[in-house]
């Protein structure tokens, strides 16, 4: 495939698929149900070999991960009968778990691998038309997690690990002229910080060949260059003498790096001069890597809060958001790379899954009542098909794929921005679950983000920034109140932080929240400032649980049941303020 990769052909293929989206969807469902008709799950619901959308929707219920967990657990434990799919599931993905609190198992399959490659190829073809790259390398901040065998002997790893370690990935990257600078030993190294250090080192060694700086989620790029600020002199020293710092201890990583690292005092001088010449690290990326054409990674949704810092490091370089998907399966490709990340939308590939959408406007009441993870108990909302969605409307997304998920509620809310031929382009809005709710107040991740953005403007006047943030509903006081945790880039004076705290409180404009605050049915919002490095500790915690950094998303709300993370947060509070915004 790598020899015959022709972006024009890929575009042509997507044009045909998207023009014929309705038929392709029906066909895709038919294929999925034919291949998996013998699965006990489908038989249980009486589908009886039928493959048309109407029978499918009438028989099979909408489900969340919780509903499928007993089936998945049996597969994980070694049940090889056809539970969810016709042919046995041999690989399991461990989702990042940062959106749900705990990692969850989902089936992985060759078809998922292939659809991942299709998404990569498709967005690349459109991207390369606007931002062509030649033969070169990509500085990719990607990290494999440990792969292990489940009790039943299935291979398990995070979805990104399953993808990165497969041969189709390498072939596709090569075909896209974006082979990773770093050797596999670095990507799959057992110590995340050592891998990050070596990624930076590899990028610097191949500095003039690097054309793209990327990661799965943009957070990893910001995190990498924040780390660069701390370790750049050590990197220079390694390059000068051609010898890796003794802080990198993993033997396989040391061996792999020793093959790349040669004494290069000129390069060390060059990096030193560049770094000394920068003002507050503005434009660091193009300064280090002058041939980079763009920065690439998922930049929407919970990645938006990192865009400001990313722009700072990127200087004038374009930021291009990568595609939209999940461990459970891919959804859409970014085929309008020129749009800024804030406006990025993803065109759905109609042949990778069968998609349905729950219109949120009509289902507002049921959505509010149904904040539980299980959907069996509630009245089933009505869905519309891929080609029936309307521009401007918001939907919860549902999919049925080749890997044993049927009418699966991913938990994401999307907005249709326009159609590309007959397939919609979706903007990611937020996770469906409410984040902060005490009584009649309802605030989502997006509401929290907007409130933090508003208050961060006050900090910006002091030349300070919010490094990262999360929240918690504290019901241990009467009445309960919202707690916002902030890690800040430096020391802010008390008056500014008090103002930030009031601003956070005032910026939750949800009517339920404001009215509850006015009558003190919700207590004053509390801002807790954290020690520098607290969010690193949280990353370490998730990595320790088996999550891969590549898929890490800071949990934006930490519940009391997420005891360890809450403990890390509470143990690292250095200052705390209560809002006086409501008197």
Shortest separation between residue 326's beta carbon and ligand AMP, angstroms? 3
Give the contact letters, 366-405, x = binds to ligand AMP (CB under 6 A), - = no: ----------------------------------------
> Hey, how many other C-beta atoms are within 10 angstroms of the C-beta on 380?
13
Determine if 336 is a binding residue for ligand AMP (CB under 6 A): no
Determine if 95 is a binding residue for ligand AMP (CB under 6 A): yes
Distance of CA 404 to the CA centre of its chain: 22
The residue (of 207 and 296) whose beta carbon lies closer to ligand AMP is 296
The residue (of 95 and 516) whose beta carbon lies closer to ligand AMP is 95
Closest CA to 89 of 103, 75, 105: 75
Q: Where are the beta strands (DSSP E) in 45-154?
A: 91-94, 105-108, 136-140, 148-149
For the chain, helix, strand, coil in percent to 5 are: 40, 20, 40
Backbone CA torsion sign across 271, 273, 278, 283: negative
Determine if 145 is a binding residue for ligand AMP (CB under 6 A): no
Shortest separation between residue 310's beta carbon and ligand AMP, angstroms? 14
- Both structure tokens of 43: 């038989």
Q: Rounded distance, CA 109 to CA 115, Å?
A: 10
Let me know: does 295 contact 214? Beta carbons within 8 Å: yes
**Please, what's the largest Cα pairwise distance for the chain?**
71
Report how many residues bind ligand AMP under the rule CB under 6 A: 16
Among 82, 300, 437, 443, binds ligand AMP (CB under 6 A): 300
The residue (of 192 and 206) whose beta carbon lies closer to ligand AMP is 192
Q: Rounded distance, CA 566 to CA 558, Å?
A: 6
Give the contact letters, 554-583, x = binds to ligand AMP (CB under 6 A), - = no: ------------------------------
Nearest residue to ligand AMP, using CB?
Answer: 301
Let me know: does 547 contact 145? Beta carbons within 8 Å: yes
The residue (of 527 and 565) whose beta carbon lies closer to ligand AMP is 565
Binding span for ligand AMP by CB under 6 A among 176-184, 318-326, 375-383, 568-576: 318-326
Closest CA to 199 of 157, 248, 145: 248
Binding span for ligand AMP by CB under 6 A among 179-187, 321-329, 361-369, 499-507: 321-329
Q: Rounded distance, CA 129 to CA 318, Å?
A: 14
The residue (of 159 and 353) whose beta carbon lies closer to ligand AMP is 159
The residue (of 293 and 415) whose beta carbon lies closer to ligand AMP is 415
Question: H or E element: which one contains 540?
Answer: helix 534-544
Binding span for ligand AMP by CB under 6 A among 14-22, 95-103, 144-152, 305-313: 95-103
Residue in the structure block whose two tokens are 């009438």: 58
The residue (of 181 and 298) whose beta carbon lies closer to ligand AMP is 298
Among 203, 283, 301, 523, binds ligand AMP (CB under 6 A): 301
Among 410, 473, 488, 504, binds ligand AMP (CB under 6 A): 410
Shortest separation between residue 246's beta carbon and ligand AMP, angstroms? 34
Shortest separation between residue 418's beta carbon and ligand AMP, angstroms? 17
Closest CA to 367 of 296, 316, 432: 432
Residues 181-220 that bind ligand AMP (CB under 6 A): none
Determine if 164 is a binding residue for ligand AMP (CB under 6 A): no
Shortest separation between residue 546's beta carbon and ligand AMP, angstroms? 13
Q: Rounded distance, CA 189 to CA 167, Å?
A: 18
Let me know: does 272 contact 236? Beta carbons within 8 Å: yes
Closest CA to 189 of 255, 139, 144: 144
Shortest separation between residue 227's beta carbon and ligand AMP, angstroms? 22
Binding span for ligand AMP by CB under 6 A among 91-99, 387-395, 398-406, 524-532: 91-99
Residues 375, 431, 544, CA angle at the centre, nearest 5°?
A: 100
> Hey, how many other C-beta atoms are within 10 angstroms of the C-beta on 45?
14
Binding span for ligand AMP by CB under 6 A among 146-154, 168-176, 295-303, 362-370: 295-303
The residue (of 449 and 534) whose beta carbon lies closer to ligand AMP is 449
The residue (of 99 and 194) whose beta carbon lies closer to ligand AMP is 99
Q: Rounded distance, CA 249 to CA 81, Å?
A: 44
Q: Where are the beta strands (DSSP E) in 308-420?
A: 319-321, 324-326, 329-333, 346-348, 354-359, 384-385, 394-400, 408-420
Q: Rounded distance, CA 448 to CA 355, Å?
A: 29
Determine if 325 is a binding residue for ligand AMP (CB under 6 A): yes
The residue (of 28 and 449) whose beta carbon lies closer to ligand AMP is 449
Determine if 116 is a binding residue for ligand AMP (CB under 6 A): no
- 572 phi and psi angles, rounded to 5 deg: -115, 15
Determine if 327 is a binding residue for ligand AMP (CB under 6 A): yes
Determine if 99 is a binding residue for ligand AMP (CB under 6 A): yes
Among 36, 96, 211, 423, binds ligand AMP (CB under 6 A): 96
Determine if 123 is a binding residue for ligand AMP (CB under 6 A): no
Determine if 330 is a binding residue for ligand AMP (CB under 6 A): no
Strands 210-217 and 294-298: parallel
Closest CA to 56 of 27, 75, 90, 33: 33
Binding span for ligand AMP by CB under 6 A among 218-226, 271-279, 319-327, 348-356: 319-327
Shortest separation between residue 444's beta carbon and ligand AMP, angstroms? 12
Determine if 326 is a binding residue for ligand AMP (CB under 6 A): yes
> Which residues bind to ligand AMP, rule: CB under 6 A?
95-96, 99, 159, 298, 300-301, 324-327, 410, 412, 428, 431, 551
């Amino acid at each position: 495939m790598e020899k015959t990769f022709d972006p024009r052909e890929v575009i042509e293929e997507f044009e045909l698929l998207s023009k014929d989206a309705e038929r392709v969807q029906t066909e895709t469902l038919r294929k999925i149900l034919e291949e998996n008709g013998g699965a006990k799950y489908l038989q249980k619901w009486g589908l009886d070999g039928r493959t048309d959308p109407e029978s499918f929707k009438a028989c099979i219920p909408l489900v969340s991960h919780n509903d499928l967990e007993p089936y998945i657990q049996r597969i994980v434990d070694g049940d090889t009968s056809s539970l969810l799919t016709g042919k046995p599931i041999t690989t399991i993905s461990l989702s990042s778990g940062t959106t749900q609190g705990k990692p969850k198992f989902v089936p992985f399959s060759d078809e998922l691998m292939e659809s991942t490659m299709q998404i990569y190829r498709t967005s690349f073809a459109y991207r390369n038309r606007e931002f062509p790259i030649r033969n070169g390398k990509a500085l990719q901040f990607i990290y494999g997690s440990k792969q292990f065998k489940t009790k039943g002997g299935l291979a398990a790893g995070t979805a990104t690990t399953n993808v990165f370690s497969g041969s189709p990935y390498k072939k596709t990257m090569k075909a896209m002229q974006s082979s990773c600078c770093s050797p596999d030993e670095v990507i799959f190294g057992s110590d995340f910080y050592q891998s990050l250090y070596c990624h930076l080192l590899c990028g610097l060694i191949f500095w003039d060949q690097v054309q793209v700086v990327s990661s799965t989620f943009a957070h990893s790029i910001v995190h990498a260059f924040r780390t660069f600020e701390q370790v750049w002199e050590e990197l220079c020293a390694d390059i000068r003498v051609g010898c890796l710092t003794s802080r990198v201890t993993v033997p396989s990583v040391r061996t792999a790096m020793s093959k790349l690292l040669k004494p290069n005092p000129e390069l060390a001088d060059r990096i030193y001069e560049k770094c000394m010449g920068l003002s507050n690290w503005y434009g660091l990326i193009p300064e280090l890597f002058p041939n980079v054409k763009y920065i690439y990674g998922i930049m929407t949704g919970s990645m938006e809060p990192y865009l400001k810092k990313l722009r700072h490091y990127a200087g004038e370089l374009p930021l291009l958001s990568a595609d939209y998907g999940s461990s459970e399966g891919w959804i859409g490709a970014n085929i309008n790379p020129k749009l800024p990340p804030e406006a990025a939308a993803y065109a759905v590939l109609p042949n990778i899954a069968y998609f349905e959408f729950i219109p949120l406007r009509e289902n507002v009441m049921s959505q509010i009542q149904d904040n539980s993870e299980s959907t069996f108990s509630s009245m089933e909302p009505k869905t519309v098909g891929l080609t029936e969605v309307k521009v401007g409307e918001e939907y919860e997304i549902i999919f049925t794929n080749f890997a044993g998920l049927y009418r699966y509620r991913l938990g994401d809310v999307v907005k249709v921005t326009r159609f590309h031929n007959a397939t919609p382009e979706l903007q990611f809005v937020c996770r469906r679950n409410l984040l902060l709710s005490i009584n009649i107040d309802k605030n989502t991740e997006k509401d929290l983000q907007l409130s933090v953005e508003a208050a961060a403007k006050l900090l910006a006047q002091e030349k300070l920034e919010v490094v990262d943030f999360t929240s918690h509903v504290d019901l241990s006081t009467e009445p309960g109140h919202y707690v916002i945790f902030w890690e800040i880039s430096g020391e802010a004076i008390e008056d500014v932080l008090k103002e930030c705290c009031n601003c956070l409180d005032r910026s939750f404009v949800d009517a339920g929240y404001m009215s509850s605050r006015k009558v003190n049915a919700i207590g004053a919002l509390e801002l807790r400032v954290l020690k520098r490095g607290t969010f690193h500790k949280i990353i370490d915690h998730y990595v320790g649980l088996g999550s891969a950094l590549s898929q890490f998303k800071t949990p934006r709300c930490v519940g009391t049941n997420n005891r360890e993370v809450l403990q890390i947060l509470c143990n690292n509070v250095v200052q705390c303020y209560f809002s006086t915004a409501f008197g």
